Homo-oligomer: A and B are copies of this chain.
Amino acid sequence: MNYPNGKPFKVNKAQVGRTGTLKSSKIDYGGRGMSLENDIEHSNSYYLKHGMAVIHKKPTPVQIVNVHYPQRSKAVINEAYFRTPSTTDYNGLYQGHYIDFEAKETKNKTSFPLSNIHEHQVTHMDACYQHQGIVFLLIRFKSLDEVYLLPYAKFQKFWKRFKNDGKKSITVEELRKNGYYIPYQYQPRLNYLKAVDKLILDESEDRV
């Protein structure tokens, strides 16, 4: 696969990772990270095309240090660094609701390691939740090929347990109990808005 200018593509957002440092997890999870990311990308395009929702992935945060202008028409960034994102990867609008979520994959068979989530992302999700946003995580177990939507309100419990008791992960059973299973289908392959519908319904009851 070559770039139109003939240069081979060398970078894969998911593999490079958010922090820009080569965490081993990024390398291990990268390939799989792509597939969930692509599924979500495809779903978001489908939702937008069919007027169902406006949800986008945010660009990878980059600190631009030096830009070269060979010609006025084309600027080349020749020094930049990856920055740690202060928010989640996805947000948007669905039926008048503000939607905010993070998507993660794990190769683990039995549990989801909370080390995948940054503290500041939790802070952001919490703020969005406090401001009546629909906030959740999409978690995919690569080996089981199962995807779950975990509402922030539920995730919060596990995060507190992590902070207080040091339990570093959420078991699959806990996810099955606290999250919404998202079955793969034809179009779009990962129709996560179906789970969001359930979440909105359940939260409207909880919050009333």
Q: Name A's B-contacting residues (CB within 8 A).
A: 1, 3-5, 7-16, 18-22, 24, 27, 30-31, 34, 37-38, 41, 48, 51, 53-54, 56-62, 64-67, 69, 72-83, 85-87, 91-98, 100, 124, 127-128, 130-133
Q: Does A67 lie within 8 Å of B15, measured CB to CB?
A: no
Q: Does B73 lie within 8 Å of A21, measured CB to CB?
A: yes
Q: How far is the CA of A11 from the CA of B106 in the complex (A)?
A: 20
Determine which of B15, B20, B56, B58 lies in contact with A9 in the assembled complex, contact meaning CB atoms within 8 Å.
Answer: B15
Give min CB distance, A125 to chain B, whole Å. 10
Given A9-B11, A62-B64, A131-B93, the answer on whether A4 and B19 have CB atoms closer than 8 Å is: yes
Q: Does A65 lie within 8 Å of B7, measured CB to CB?
A: yes
